[in-house]
Amino acid sequence: MIQIDFDSRATETARRLLSEHPDGVQQVAARHSGGAGTDLALILSLATLAIPEVRKIIVELIHAGKYRSVTIKGKKITGYGAEDVKRILAGLGEDAET
């Protein structure tokens, strides 16, 4: 599974994913001790990520930088640089060039 904290520009996309894939997409609401919280965070199962249509949406979203953070295998990636995008896509098993 991965967790994506969406930024406000991707709210509609996130809500659509949640309603269309209720078995593999789950919402998380959190307030952290440091004061930060999630606006709209989703966890996605690996099986759901394997659905081409879902995968396409997520990859586009990553390329567009419409996230606050992406957590894969416990690692929380918060940057938007080429290296960060490459790491996120590698974590999804995706080629950075696609």
Partner 1 sequence: MKDEIEDLIASLSTVLRAASSDEGKSHGFVGISDYLANTRVLVPAQSPSNAEYDAYVFNKFVANDRRLQAAHPALEFTSSLNKTSCTLDLGAGPFLVLDLHLEDALEDLTKVYFCSNPATAGLVTALRQLAENYVVTGDHMVAAVLAATASAFENEGYGAREMDVPGASPEVQAAYVIAHELGHLLWLRDGVPPPFAMMVDKLVRIDAGMAAEARMPSGGRPAGGADLYGPSEIEETIRRRSDPAGEFVQEIWADFYAWAATAREYTLGGFPPHTVFEALALALRNLATIDALRRIAERQGRDSTVDEVSARRHILRMLLRTHFGDLRKDDGYIKLSGIPPEALATADFNEISQETEDRYHRHVWDPMMRQLGGVLVAASNQDAVKASYEQLRVRFGDEPAVLILRDRPVQVSDLQ
Binding site for partner 1 (CB under 8 A): 1, 3, 23-24, 26-37, 43, 45, 69, 71, 73-79, 87
Half-sphere exposure of 80 (CA within 13 A, CB side): 9
CB of 19: closest distance to partner 1 in angstroms?
A: 13
Our CB check for partner 1 shows the closer of 5 and 61 to be 5
CB of 45: closest distance to partner 1 in angstroms?
A: 6
With contact defined as beta carbons under 8 Å apart, do 4 and 44 qualify? yes
Half-sphere exposure of 28 (CA within 13 A, CB side): 18
